[in-house]
Chains A and B, each alone.
Chain A
Amino acid sequence: MEYCIMVVACDQSLPHIIETHNVVREFKGHDKPVKALDGVSIYIDEGEIFGLLGPNGAGKTTLIKILTTLLLPTRGTASVGGFDVVKEPHKVRKIISLVSGGETPGYGILSASENLWFFSQLYGLTSSAAKAEIKRLIADLEFEEYAKTRMSKLSTGYKQRLNLARGLLNNPRIFFLDEPTLGLDVLTSRKLRSYIVDWAKKERKGTVLLTTHYMAEADEMCDRVAIIDRGKILACDSPLTLKEKLKENVIMKAEVSSVQADFGFLDQMKGIVGVSQTRSIQTNTTSLKIMVREEKTFNDILSKLEKQNLKILSVNKAEPTLEDVYISLVGRGFEEETAS
């Protein structure tokens, strides 16, 4: 299998609202340090919705923790709003907010609005200003009927609405969102995404740094996306440009009637840029997404699959997605195996 990994530095000479220069973060490992970030250099401009896209363990949360002053970099520098995250953390905290997906948005024993009042006080809002802002956010995020419900009794979706409202209480200049739609249903995810985009583009004109491992989320929301894997930024551009770069390749999807088949032969074949496999135990099928340089390579693949007595259920040509960009960069998909 042929694929290339290029380390991209998204860098410019002008000052940006977020900048990192060769940020390295190491954690203690069993026998040697583990590099969670390996020379990350990115810039983000004011008003941008910037996505960090990568699989679990890619280093997305580590980077967000450094930028929100929760973690120190081992090496390198980072600034947010022109303030150094290591030397001026207090100044950084005044202009940011952080919301993580799957987090508890406060104290279970307090109601949704009581929790919001509590967090508003951490940002110095007067009680009357806080109450007005809470009322507005609760209405905007559509959970008025649960405003007086104890947080512990809210569903995951409403907890995340509350979490988002908490993050917006201080009207942050830079809003950090770490997997904001993690574990949410499709409708709630869509609603929250559209709310965040409206907030950033129309209402506040603020900057958003979003981490996600959902391709569609990054594609739909972000002005620019950085693809991160094993602590390295592999590509950084607008979703459209990233996908445009793949036009020279052919992407094919094939569904095969086996969940146990060995597709190891694909690694040995020439002309393959990358492969992603999704196995479903429920349907006993494997979905293959294969990126090839020339369409004829795919014919060879199909004949090899047939030789293995595998039933090919469907074959489609696909338009490039951000997942394909990732596959083209690292040679594999985000989730190689999904037992659903």
Chain B
Amino acid sequence: MRAAYARLWVRIKGGNREPEWLIAELIIPVITLSAYIFLYKMVKAPPQYAGFVIIGGTLMAFWSNVLWNMSAQFYWEKETGTLEAYLVAPISRMAIQLGMALGGFVNTTLRAIAVFVAGILIFQVPMALYEPFTAIVIFLLTIGALYALGMMFASLFLLYGREAWHTANLLQEPIQFLSGTYYPTTSSVIPFTVQLLSSLIPLTFGLDGIRRVAILGQGIKEVWPNIVALAIFTLILLPLARQALKFMENLGKKEGRLTLRWQ
């Protein structure tokens, strides 16, 4: 746990030491949200759509964090030379992953709350939150599943060279599209195939669940399938991440690519 705490501490300390990043991470999401909200207003969509967009933008901050600061992290550690120090230390690699995930979560939560509050205040979004506890449960389960996915990607990226960067790029937009960050995927307009694919992504269930509870005024009776799906995702992804890490580390040791840089 000391190792996990130390890694979390590095992430928080490092993440807040360069305030320029904070500005970019707060302003850019609000601009993106504004574009979608104005679009929905122009086409006279129901006012709840603005709320959908704000919740989508808020959770997107976590997905971006998972993708850029979690998945590609071991790759960056390798390039900067710190991975070797981790691998020689008598620690569980999952402790490092846990520290990265918790640190990323804490950092992103502060930014996400700021984006959420700014969005709600600027666009006067009507909220219908009757079961805050249910919303919190869905949110935490979504985060759990997302970071478990991040841990798995981090393991897979362990042996990656420069292509780690491209793969992260490749995953950004499709996930944004499939999970329905800025629109509800349950709408009949969305083709069945897209809906089917989107059901493979934990973010979809998290977004849908929170939107239902916070914007549409629904409760546990309606969103329990989302909770079950998210719990299943977490339970599958966490051990899978552990196995993937073990496998990739062993493969790296066999092939001699574990700490090989500039591949």
Contact residues of A with B, CB < 8 Å? Answer: 25, 27-28, 62, 65, 68-72, 90, 93-94, 96-98, 100, 103-104, 106-110, 114, 117-119, 121-124, 166
Contact = CB atoms under 8 A, between A and B. Distances in A.
Interface in B1-20: 2-3, 5-7, 9-10, 13-14, 17-18
Given A27-B256, A90-B90, A109-B17, A121 B80 contact: no
B85 A122 contact: yes
Given A110-B13, A118-B10, A124-B2, A97 B253 contact: no
B88 interface: yes
B13 A71 contact: no
Contacts of A108: 80
B84 A122 contact: no
B157 to A, nearest CB: 18
Contacts of B3: 121-122
Interface of chain B: mostly helix, strand, loop or mixed: helix
B89 A123 contact: yes
Contacts of A118: 6-7, 9-10
Contacts of B10: 107, 110, 118
B17 A93 contact: no
A117 B5 CA distance: 12
Given A70-B84, A110-B14, A122-B85, 9 more contacts: A69-B88, A72-B254, A93-B90, A96-B88, A104-B82, A117-B6, A118-B9, A121-B2, A121-B6
Interface residues of B, number: 29
Contacts of B91: 122
B253 A70 contact: yes
Contacts of B88: 68-70, 93, 96-98
24 contacts: A28-B255, A68-B88, A69-B87, A69-B88, A72-B250, A72-B253, A93-B88, A93-B90, A96-B88, A98-B85, A98-B88, A100-B81, A103-B81, A104-B80, A106-B82, A109-B17, A109-B18, A122-B2, A122-B3, A122-B89, A123-B89, A123-B90, A124-B2, A166-B85
A65 B17 CA distance: 34
Contact of A100 (B7, B84, B254): B84
Q: List the 4 closest pairs (A to B, CB-CB), nearest first.
A: A121-B6, A122-B89, A104-B81, A93-B90
Contacts of B87: 69-70
B90 A109 contact: no
Contacts of B36: none
B107 interface: no
A114 B6 contact: no
Nearest to A124: B2
A119 B13 contact: no
A107 B77 CA distance: 9
Interface of B: 2-3, 5-7, 9-10, 13-14, 17-18, 80-82, 84-91, 250, 253-256, 258-259
Contacts of A103: 81, 84
Nearest to B79: A104
A186 to B, nearest CB: 24
Contacts, number: 78
A122 B80 CA distance: 18
Nearest to B15: A109
A93 B256 contact: no
A97 B90 CA distance: 10
Given A98-B84, A103-B84, A71 B6 contact: no
B13 A122 contact: no
A122 B6 contact: yes
Most-contacted residue by chain A among B10, B87, B253, B256 (CB, 10 A): B256
A69 B250 CA distance: 10
Nearest to B91: A122
A232 B138 CA distance: 60
A110 B10 CA distance: 8
A71 B256 CA distance: 6
A104 B261 CA distance: 13
Contacts of A109: 13-14, 17-18
Nearest to B251: A72
Contacts of B254: 72
B80 A70 contact: no
A117 B10 CA distance: 10
A107 B82 contact: yes
Contacts of A94: 90
A166 to B, nearest CB: 7
Nearest to A62: B256
Nearest to B14: A109
A268 to B, nearest CB: 40
A294 to B, nearest CB: 46
A130 B6 CA distance: 12
B13 A114 contact: yes
